[in-house]
Structure 1
Amino acid sequence: MFYYVLKHVLLGPLLRLLFRPRIEGLERVPETGAAIIAGNHLSFADHFLMPAILRRRITFLAKAEYFTGPGLRGRLTAAFFRSAGQIPVDRSGKEAGQAAIREGLGVLSQGELLGIYPEGTRSHDGRLYKGKVGVAAMALKAGVPVIPCAMIGTFEAQPPGQVLPRLHPVRIRFGAPLEFSRYEGLENEKSILRAVTDEIMYAILELSGQEYVDRYAAEVKAEETSR
């Protein structure tokens, strides 16, 4: 219930009023049935702008840190994400990737929309980074289409580290659904998972027009932080 109040009464109308996002290709999101929406991730605002403009409910796999923050702010953030139906995923340890896949498959098995950011983290510099193969594993195991999505302008509106967003034109572009039935039965082949993931990332790249970096964002962030 809170999800729909948030979307239609509270946050959704405010975001649409402030950012007036320009939407392209919304008709490419299926009206019924399970599907994955895979997008670039430039800003904390992405979590709210995309659900605000979609006709259907979408569930995101959200990093566990959003649910475990300290103090009053941490509790409020956790309550907000839980009330909005978002699923915490622990990104540490060897089992983190498998846990995320299990949670995602649970959402898809109910015929719902699943939102995922294949980069695994927000881009710290506005570039598009190499995708992790979890999105491919879920698409192949569930046998569902993947709709690529590009958020454009959210990095300028609210870059990492900025608490309050500033007004900036935003565009949200949805690409044609990608289907991978040709790989049925090959969901455990590493080369297939990599190929499918790269195809998804290329579709996002075509929509977003970002500079592409063939490395994982987390690795680049760690290197730059250690300098």
Structure 2
Amino acid sequence: MLDLATRLVLKPVSRGIWRPVIEGIENVPRKGGVILASNHLSFIDSVVIPLTAPRRVHFLAKAEYFTGTGLKGRVSKGFFEAIGAVPVERGTYRSAQASLESALEILEDGKAFGIYPEGTRSLDGRLYRGKTGVAWLALTAGVPVVPVALEGPEQILPIGKRVPRIKKVTVRFGEPLHFDELHGQARSLKARRQVTDEVMAAIQRLSGQEVVESYNEIPKAA
């Protein structure tokens, strides 16, 4: 029912307002488990991708989005459920491991899962080194990875803003990457690093972003 509401209401309305440029949509497999690995520029990325992809895409989202009270809480929960978000607790190693296991269940169920290998939003527009969770999922589930490049979402919802603006956004879906020869080697750090670097290189070719060799760490509060 929620998937129907997304296809019949949310997608047409959002596309009518923002008129996104969508490239390579034919590269997204219509069936079977698949990972959509994207660069990360804005909070709204997890809304843009599900509303432009040709199939339902599941992302992990903070549990707080689903537990609010009153009308605002119900609207938040309904919206995130409609776009395929899955609630998870965050902040600890145990919660990170639980997040990967939740993602694995989604993939093993033949669904599409979206992930940001950088881990957190890029505040300067550059592309940071990918973390190997994407590789662990691909090698464990034995599914292809579709690289995704977003351009412009940070203009729709800049950091610190709550109301989206009408700005141009482009979504590019690259050709699927297959790692059949490494399937089952998820425990190998070398294999995970190799796969992750290939995924990040594919994202960079689509986005044209400047590459940073270090990880993108969340700024610590002063």
State if a TM-score over 0.5 links the two structures.
Answer: yes
Q: Residue 162 of structure 1: CA displacement?
A: 1.4
Question: What is the match of residue 13 of structure 2?
Answer: 14
Question: What is the match of residue 204 of structure 2?
Answer: 205
Distance in 2 of aligned mates of 1:190 and 1:75? 42
Distance in 2 of aligned mates of 1:89 and 1:38? 19
1:73/1:65 CA distance change after superposition, 3 Å: same
Contact 1:40–1:150 (8 Å) recurs in 2:
yes
**TM-score normalised according to structure 1 size:** 0.88
Question: What is the match of residue 168 of structure 2?
Answer: 169
The correspondence of residues 106-121 of structure 1 with structure 2, limited to 5 A, is 106-121=105-120
The correspondence of residues 7-156 of structure 1 with structure 2, limited to 5 A, is 7-9=7-9, 11-68=10-67, 73-74=72-73, 76-156=75-155
Contact 1:97–1:134 (8 Å) recurs in 2:
no
Contact 2:57–2:83 (8 Å) recurs in 1:
no
1:92/1:162 CA distance change after superposition, 3 Å: same
Question: What is the match of residue 157 of structure 2?
Answer: 158
What SS class does the counterpart of residue 29 from structure 2 fall into? coil
Distance in 1 of aligned mates of 2:211 and 2:155? 18
Question: What is the match of residue 182 of structure 1?
Answer: 181
Distance in 1 of aligned mates of 2:77 and 2:150? 24
Gaps of 5+ in 1: none
Q: Residue 184 of structure 1: CA displacement?
A: 2.4
List per-residue Cα deviations over 1:102-137 (Å, max 9, x = no partner): 111111111111111112222223222222211110
Distance in 2 of aligned mates of 1:127 and 1:88? 28
Contact 1:7–1:51 (8 Å) recurs in 2:
no
Question: What is the match of residue 3 of structure 1?
Answer: 3
The two structures, once aligned, show a CA RMSD in angstroms of 2.0
Contact 2:35–2:145 (8 Å) recurs in 1:
yes
List per-residue Cα deviations over 1:26-45 (Å, max 9, x = no partner): 10001211111111121222
Question: What is the match of residue 213 of structure 2?
Answer: 214
Identity %: 48
Instruction: Identify the range of structure 1 (209-218 vs 29-38) with the bigger mean alpha-carbon deviation.
Output: 209-218
**TM-score normalised according to structure 2 size:** 0.90
Distance in 2 of aligned mates of 1:53 and 1:61? 17
Distance in 2 of aligned mates of 1:159 and 1:48? 14
Letter of the aligned partner of 1:95 in structure 2?
R
- Alignment coverage as a number of residue pairs: 222
Q: Residue 14 of structure 1: CA displacement?
A: 2.2
Q: Residue 71 of structure 1: CA displacement?
A: 7.2
1:40/1:15 CA distance change after superposition, 3 Å: same
What SS class does the counterpart of residue 163 from structure 2 fall into? coil
Distance in 2 of aligned mates of 1:190 and 1:14? 44
Distance in 2 of aligned mates of 1:165 and 1:211? 26
What SS class does the counterpart of residue 15 from structure 2 fall into? helix
Distance in 2 of aligned mates of 1:166 and 1:44? 13
What SS class does the counterpart of residue 164 from structure 2 fall into? coil
Q: Residue 25 of structure 1: CA displacement?
A: 0.7
Contact 1:42–1:159 (8 Å) recurs in 2:
no
Letter of the aligned partner of 1:192 in structure 2?
A
Gaps of 5+ in 2: none
1:56/1:161 CA distance change after superposition, 3 Å: same
